[in-house]
Chain A
Amino acid sequence: EVQLLESGGGLVEPGGSLRLSCAASGLTFYNYAMSWVRQAPGKGLEWVSTISSNGGTTYYAASVKGRFTISRDNSNNTLYMQMNSLRAEDTAIYYCAKTGINLVQGVDDFDFWGQGTLVTVSS
C-alpha cells in the first residue's frame, strides 16, 4: 500500500525558512517523479513544483521560483521542499503527490496524494 507522509510544517515568521519532508513507502520511489501542491485557506489547489525520478530536473511555479527548492533522497525514499524567504501568501497546506514514470516536459499524471502538512507564515 502506497503511503506518503508529509512533515515539517509549522509557524514561521515572514522572511523565514522551513524544510518540508515527504516520506514514501509502498512504492519503488526512485521510479517516479514527485510533486508538491498547496492549498491556501479557503482556496483551491495550486501546483508548486515537480522533480524527475532521478532528481536531475526540476520545475517550479512562478510564485515560488527562486525561493523554494525541491529535492529528493532516493536512498531514503524521501522528497523535500526547502522554502526560503517565506511570505504570508505561502500560508497553506502542502501536499506531496506521486507523479508518473514518464515525465515529459515536466508533466505526467498524479496517482496518489499525501495528507498534507500545514505551513503558517505570520508574525
Chain B
Amino acid sequence: DIQMTQSPSSLSTSVGDRVTITCRASQNINNYLSWHQHKPGKAPKVLIYATSDLQSGVPSRFSGSGSGTDFTLTISNLQPEDFATYYCQQTYSVPITFGQGTRLEIK
C-alpha cells in the first residue's frame, strides 16, 4: 500500500497568511494526487486533482504543485472560511490512501 505522509499535522495561522502543506508518498505516484478540504459536519470538498488542476468553483488562492513523491498545497491570503482540515489523497493505485490530515487553526 502507498503511504501518504502530510506535514504539519496542525498549523496555527492568521487571516491573510500564506500557508503551505506538504504531502509525501512512499513511492512514485506520478501526478495522481488530490487535495480535499473538510469542515466538521460538512461534506468534504475537492480542491485540486492531478496535482495542480483546480476543481471548478475553487478560489484561485488555492494551488498545488509537485511530482513523483513530493507535493504541496499552498493557500495564499488565507480567508476565514479556509480554516478546516486538509487531506491529500493518492489515486495512483488501489487501495486509495489519504494523508492523516492537516488542521488549520486560527491563531
Contact = CB atoms under 8 A, between A and B. Distances in A.
Contacts of A115: 42-43
Interface residues of A, number: 25
A45 B98 contact: yes
B44 interface: yes
A116 B41 CA distance: 9
Interface string B43-63: 111100110000100000000
B96 interface: yes
Contact of B34 (A35, A50, A95, A110): A110
Interface stretch (B12-20, B68-76, B85-93): B85-93
A46 B38 CA distance: 13
Q: How large is the interface on B (under 10, 10 to 19, 20 to 34, 35 or more residues)?
A: 20 to 34
Contact of B98 (A46, A62, A116): A46
Interface string B66-84: 0000000000000000000
Interface of A: 4, 35, 37, 44-47, 50, 59, 61-62, 95, 97, 105-116
B93 A45 contact: no
Nearest to A45: B98
A97 to B, nearest CB: 8
Contacts of A44: 87, 98-101
Nearest to A112: B46
Contacts of B91: 107-110
A37 B36 CA distance: 13
Contacts of B42: 115
Contacts of A50: 94, 96
A115 to B, nearest CB: 4
Contacts of A59: 94-95
Contacts of A116: 43
A107 to B, nearest CB: 5
Given A46-B98, A50-B94, A62-B95, A109 B49 contact: yes
